Amino acid sequence: MLSEVEAEAGHAADPGEQILHHILDSNVIEIPFTDKVIPLPTIHLPESFPLIGGADFSITKHVVMMWIACALLLFLFGRAARQAKQPVPSGLRNMLEALIVFLRDEVARKSIPHGADRYLGFLMSTFFFILMCNLLGLVPSMATATGNISVTAGLALVAFVVIQAGGIREYGVIKHFKNLVPPGLPMWLVPIMFVLELLSMFIKPFALCIRLFANMMAGHVVILAFISLIFILAAMFSPIIGWAASPIAVFFALFVYLLEILVALLQAYIFTMLTAQFIGMSVHPAH
């Protein structure tokens, strides 16, 4: 039987548990380079509460990461706004303006031919929030909120509401749903197409949710898997083999880490671009 010390060592070196511990949400925040944690408040509504009795509104690590992302965005854009009177943009303002102009001209206005500026605020908020959450996950001791399917589901739900609200605002409820079916179809095909298009209406935000969640979680799993490979080889064979494999493992982990910076930007762009496309399809159907 293993001693308590050996059991704890094996427990600490379990790669699967360490990977899950890193990517899953929790009710504590670890203080870097220490064994101490900061407990987060647990909030459960009483069962007698109307409609949402018993719901869990606890503050978790990923919630804190989203708060930090919002605070950083407010700080960065506030600082850039103070430079608005400069005749030639530079530094932070220049970088943010370049991203904003790109989103306006290449994403919003190309996806939504008419009335695109009405949705600019939503699309830009979506892009910068996802981007900041993605980048925060690459900072040591931080966590990736967009690697939580609840967060990406919330973003997809908001996108779904905006997509449908745009179509309803443009055509009204009845005409909006009539636009799901292209004109000129045989009558026997109309019910089938309506059902398929109705399913597609819900599949689109679901795809947004899963794509962002899977890509952000997968990158962290790969990085941690490469690092864990050092300890796995050391435990299976000998510490010497583990140390010998460490340069290769660290090289590939670093390569994936740098690739994740590109993925962070790319996934924010893809989510925003597809949302703009879906809004354009809702407010300006092909027929």
Domain boundaries, the chain: 83-283
- What is d(CA 143, CA 137) in angstroms, rounded to the nearest whole number? 5
pTM of the predicted model over 0.85: yes
Query: Please, which residues have CB within 8 angstroms of residue 56's CB and are 6 or more apart in sequence?
Result: 43, 44
Angle at 165 between CA 161 and CA 169, to 5 degrees: 175
Q: Can you give the pLDDT at residue 213?
A: 93
Task: Please name the residues in contact with 90: beta carbons below 8 A apart, sequence gap of 6 or more.
Answer: 83
Query: Among 14-23, 90-99, 166-175, 176-185, whose mean pLDDT is lowest?
Result: 14-23
Percent over 90 (pLDDT), the chain: 42
**What are the φ/ψ torsions at residue 101 (nearest 5 degrees)?**
-65, -40
CB 130 within 8 A of CB 263: no
Predicted confidence at residue 5, as pLDDT, reads 37
HSE-CB of 213 using CA atoms within 13 angstroms:
16
Band of the pLDDT at 269, cuts 50, 70, 90? very high
Residues for the chain: how many in total?
A: 287
Q: At residue 168, does pLDDT exceed 80?
A: yes
Average pLDDT (257-276) is: 94
| Mean pLDDT taken over the chain | 85
